[in-house]
Structure 1
Amino acid sequence: MRVSAIDMVSPKSVEACLFLLGDQDKTYRFIAGGTDAVVRMKDGILRPSVWINIKHLKTLRYIREEMNEIHIGPLTTHTDIATSKLLQEKADVLVEAAKEIGAIQMQNMGTIGGNIGTASPAGDTLPALFVLDAKIELSSLHESRIIPIREFFTGPGKTVQKQDEMITAIRIVPQTENEIGIFEKLGPRKAQSISIVNVAISLKMGMKPRECLSGKIAFGSVAPTIIRSAKCEKMLTLGPLDDVAIQDIAGAAWKEVMPISDVRASAKYRRSMASSLLERGLYRLIERWEER
């Protein structure tokens, strides 16, 4: 099936989109930037009966602070995220991840909702969203529900999203003044390819030298879905993050990741790189913290 052989509709509102999704006789798929959807369809994955073009729905493109959360619309582009002053101040790890997604053209076209909906274990924004304790708002014609991101993905390309639902918001917990985050990625070509391994780290620092009060670590491309590194996170608070501690924590990552071998890298190489990226990220975070 050629791309041109598939029908496309352009609803004028979110409500109209949800009405279409209620039609069980057809398979609908959203398209905005198309950086993931069209490529996958050409590869024979998830060919819909009808495209729902939502690129023009401005009500789904925003970044704003509401109560104790930051809300991001699913049509917010990676460029929007990378240049947002609010996110630079209160979600630096997501800003860094957005800057690593493909070339500038990809960042201008691709959306955070698309990155989430594709549900690739290599999705660059996903580890960042994990360490920010993101929640995904799913809406249908009759109700909305909020899903913690750790419960949203069920496998490669699979989520708990129902056929009649669409992502209408991403909610994250803003970082406090003593929190600092970083995103590290390994790809065949810098910033313009699918990650072989990636990791997002967020640390809450104390008043003592190199004191970590708590931390979150999430790896991508090393398991069927994004994984939080529970053992490494516990080790962050055992003492000052000196050279020995950082190297021990990075070494522990080897046992927590569960990569496979594929055309891009072997499982052994991915384990080694996961450890190395975590070590590099922790060193860079400590250096940034000490420069404040």
Structure 2
Amino acid sequence: MLISEIDLVSPVSLQECLKLLSDKSIDQRLIAGGTDAAVRMKEGKWRPEVWINIKGLHELRYISEKDGAIHIGPLTTHTDIIRHTLLQKKADVLVEAAREVGATQMQNMGTIGGNIGTASPAGDTIPALYVLGAVIELRSITSVRLVPIEEFFIGPGKTILKKKEMITNIIIPPQKANEFGIFQKLGPRKAQSISIVNVAISLLMGKDRKCLGGKIAFGAVAPTIIRAKKCEALLTQQPLIDEMIQNIGKIAWKEVMPITDGRATAAYRRDMASSLLERGLYRLLRRWENDGEK
């Protein structure tokens, strides 16, 4: 099948889009920024009968705060995220992750909904959403359901999203004043590479390097993003002095479950996961001591 033989329809409203999705007789797929779609089509994958182009649905491109939560529309671009002051103040780890999504052109075109929907274990924004406790709103023509992000992914490129559904909202609780996040990524080339390993960290800090709670999520080291629960359990045991941080890094080496592929060996990924976590914790502590703790 040639790309030119594939039909494209462009609904003018969310309701029209959901109505199109409800037609189970047609093999169809949503397209927004298209940054992943072009690559997959060249690989001979993602060849539906009909592409539903949702790029023009401006009602799905927004960032707002209401009812004690931050709401992000799925057509919000990575550039939108990077530039938005609300997210810079109350979801800093997501802003850092968006900065690592390819080059500027990719950030301008790519959407957060597309990054989630592609369900790549190496997706940069997904670990950040894990540590922020994001909830995904899935909508069909007849129903709406809210799914915690950790329940959304079931394997590489696989989610619980039904064919008649689409992502319509990403909901995250705002960070507290003493909560800081960071995103670390290792790729073969600066800025434009798929992650070999990435990690998102969020810490709730008290005085004297005492961590009151924290979350750690790794990407590209398992079939889906993983929460490093054993590492998280150590965060609050003692103040985060050098020895404690190094011990947490060693636990990360054991907790991740990477594979060997064309980009890196499993052993290398384990080593880098440990190093990235240590480096991220040190960066967060410096930020807390310089900007947060008064």
Superposition TM-score, scaled by structure 2 size:
0.98
Residue 85 (1) aligns with residue 85 (2): yes
1:196-215 matched pairs, under 5 angstroms: 196-206=196-206, 208-215=207-214
Segments ≥4 residues shifted beyond 4 Å: none
Offset at 1:2? 2.3
Which ranges of structure 2 fall in alignment gaps of 5 or more residues?
none
Q: Distance in 2 between matches of 1:244 and 1:73?
A: 42
Shift of 1:167: 0.4
Report what 1:219 is aligned to.
218
Cross-structure match for 1:170: 170
Quote the residue 1:229 is aligned against: 228
Q: Tell me the TM-score normalised to structure 1 length.
A: 0.99
Identity of aligned residues (%): 70
The one-character-per-residue Cα deviations of 1:43-68 (angstroms, maximum 9, x if unpaired) are: 12222110001111100000000111
Matched, 1:288 2:287: yes
Quote how far apart the aligned CAs of 1:41 are: 2.0
Write out per-residue CA displacement over residues 179-217 of structure 1, whole angstroms, 9 at most, x where no aligned residue: 0000000001122110000000000001x2101000000
Q: Secondary structure at the match of 2:41?
A: helix
2:109 paired with 1:109 = yes
Q: Distance in 2 between matches of 1:97 and 1:88?
A: 12
Q: How far did 1:83 drift?
A: 0.5
C-alpha distance in 2, partners of 1:27/1:84? 36
Count of aligned pairs:
291
CA distance in 2, matches of 1:138, 1:38: 25
Q: For residue 27 of structure 1, report the CA deviation from its aligned partner.
A: 1.3
Spell out the pairing of 1:206-285 with structure 2 (5 A cutoff): 206=206, 208-285=207-284
- Note the C-alpha offset of 1:243: 0.3
Structure 1 position 111, deviation (Å): 0.2
Letter in 2 for 1:51: W
Structure 1 Cα separation of the partners of residues 45 and 160 of structure 2: 18
Instruction: Give secondary structure in 1 for the equivalent of 2:35.
Output: coil
After superposition, residues 8-19 of structure 1 pair within 5 angstroms as 8-19=8-19
Structure 1: tracts of 5 or more residues without a match: none
Match of 2:188 in 1: 188
**How far apart, in 2, do the equivalents of 1:131 and 1:288 lie?**
18
Aligned to 1:36, the other structure's residue is in SS state helix
CA distance in 2, matches of 1:225, 1:287: 30
Superposition RMSD in Å:
0.6
**1:115-130 alignment, distance < 5 Å:** 115-130=115-130
**Deviation by residue 1:136-166 (Cα, 9 ceiling, x = unmatched):** 1000000100000000000000000000000
Distance 1:3 1:135 in 2: 35
- CA distance, structure 2, for counterparts of residue 234 and residue 75 of structure 1: 35
* Post-superposition offset of 1:71: 0.3
